[in-house]
Structure 1
């Protein structure tokens, strides 16, 4: 029996991933702040387990993990940290409350869910954590500074925990896509130059497929799309000033 718990599951990448894993026979649990959209998504999948909560609420996170995993004898095969928020714009023009919200959800929320999931992952053979990283966690991206900072944090967290949790038999990795066509991106009022130059060539289903491949593999970082795989591979070999120059060119800085 394989089970997966997905945060940010009411729409976009989380919802697409839930559909894909459910279609392929996994037992699916859904978490999201949007209770109405979450209930609709859960019903569409035949009434699967769901819980409306904010991932920054530690008590609610711990209670949800305990409840979901109790259905499966205290086991959790896969945690998919997909909850996240994004805001495009000039750094100084975005309220500090919004910067704090981005960091709290994208970093603190992810860490809290992963921490709460540990005993259930440890009790499960072949357990795994997948987190939503980003191309913005490899190259600092103008006009999304706080989001980029949050994804650098996800990258470092993933690398550290992958080494630390090997001892427990838990695989840890992340997905690194460039821009994805989801409501989170399409709802933005500001368009960064880098988005215009790179375009939005991925959809939520593409990332769901990457999550499926990651669930059957052991990569620490999984770049998504041929272009970013090329950029990521070159970036591992190039000096830092070359990578910085590429970002300057793409962003018009």
Structure 2
């Protein structure tokens, strides 16, 4: 049996991924700040599910959670860093505290979990770390400036660790979807023009499928969805100013 530990597992992409891997016979560890929702997910999945409330900004708590799951499950094969937050708006109009939380959860939280799980992943036969990056890590997105910056950081961390941790036999990869139909996107008080223009066409379940397929791929980055895959191709084949102009058009009021 294989074992996966998922952050942000109480809703959205984390929840969809937990359901998918559990249905495939995996032992699933569920981590999230929302303790009540987490307990409901564990009850829904039943056997082979384990949960713990966790704030990924707390490095010591991350280590304790990784250790506890590895002991309970009998190992740890995959870490999926799905926890993240987003606040849309003009950067100067968003509470600076939310900017700080975005960077701490999306970036420091991802690093905390990678380090917490490293000792257990080193003992696995086919270990992987899968991080949630974003299409906004291709070019900075207006009205998502700090979120976009956080995902650039996740992309860079993924690339570096994939090379560093080859010596441990660990693959580090990320997923790069555009907007996904999750509460995090739906519940925004301010809807960025780029969201209105592009639409929200991906489901959390489609990202869960991409996560499963990524583990059998040699790619470091997995762009999700045909439109974004074409954008990535355009970025490679055309001057970078073409991507900038596309982003300017998508972000018009």
Question: What's the TM-score bracket when you normalise by the shorter of the two chains?
Answer: over 0.9
Rounded Cα–Cα distance in structure 2 between residues aligned with 1:85 and 1:136: 14
TM-score (normalised: structure 1): 0.97
Matches within 5 A, 1:45-56: 45-46=45-46, 48-56=49-57
Cα distance, 1:218 vs. partner?
2.3
Q: Which residue number in structure 2 is paired with residue 20 of structure 1?
A: 20
Cα deviation digits, residues 167-212 of structure 1 (max 9, x gap) = 1111110000000000001110111111111000001001000001
Q: Which residue of 2 aligns with 1:87?
A: 87
| Residue 128 (structure 1) shift | 0.2
Distance in 1 of aligned mates of 2:148 and 2:25: 35
Query: What displacement does 1:241 show?
Result: 1.1
User: What is the SS of the residue equivalent to 2:79?
Assistant: strand
- Per the normalisation by structure 2, the TM-score is 0.97
Provide the secondary structure at the position in 2 that maps to 1:89.
Answer: coil
Counterpart for residue 183 of structure 2: 183
Q: Within 2, Cα distance between the matches of 1:171 and 1:230?
A: 25
How far apart in 1 are the matches of 2:204 and 2:228?
A: 16
The 4+ residue runs of structure 1 with deviation greater than 3 A are none
Report the number of matched residues. Answer: 252
Pairing 1:24-103 to 2, within 5 Å after superposition: 24-46=24-46, 48-73=49-74, 75-103=75-103
Matched position secondary structure for 2:107? helix
- Tell me the SS of whatever aligns to 1:79: strand
Task: Report the equivalent of 1:165.
Answer: 165
Which structure 2 segments of 5+ residues have no match?
none
Counterparts of 1:16 and 1:130, CA distance in 2: 15
Provide structure 1 residue ranges, at least 5 long, that are not aligned to the other structure. Answer: none
Partners of 1:2 and 1:236 in 2: CA distance: 36
Partner of 1:108: 108
Report how far residue 121 of structure 1 moved.
0.6
Identify which range, 16-25 or 42-51, moves more after superposition. 42-51
Deviation readout 1:86-124 (Å, 9 max, x if unpaired): 000010001110100000000000000001111111111
Output aligned runs, 1:156-235, within 5 Å: 156-235=156-235
CA distance in 2, matches of 1:71, 1:104: 28
Residue 146 of structure 2 corresponds to residue 146 of structure 1: yes
Q: Secondary structure, in 3 states, of the residue corresponding to 1:6?
A: strand
Aligned equivalents of 2:150, 2:20: Cα separation in 1? 27
**Counterpart in the other structure of 1:241:** 241
| Cα distance between partner residues in 2 of 1:66 and 1:120 | 8
| Displacement after TM superposition at 1:72 (Å) | 4.0
Q: Secondary structure at the match of 2:222?
A: strand
Determine helix, strand or coil for the equivalent of 2:65.
helix
Instruction: State the distance in 2 between where 1:183 and 1:86 align.
Output: 10
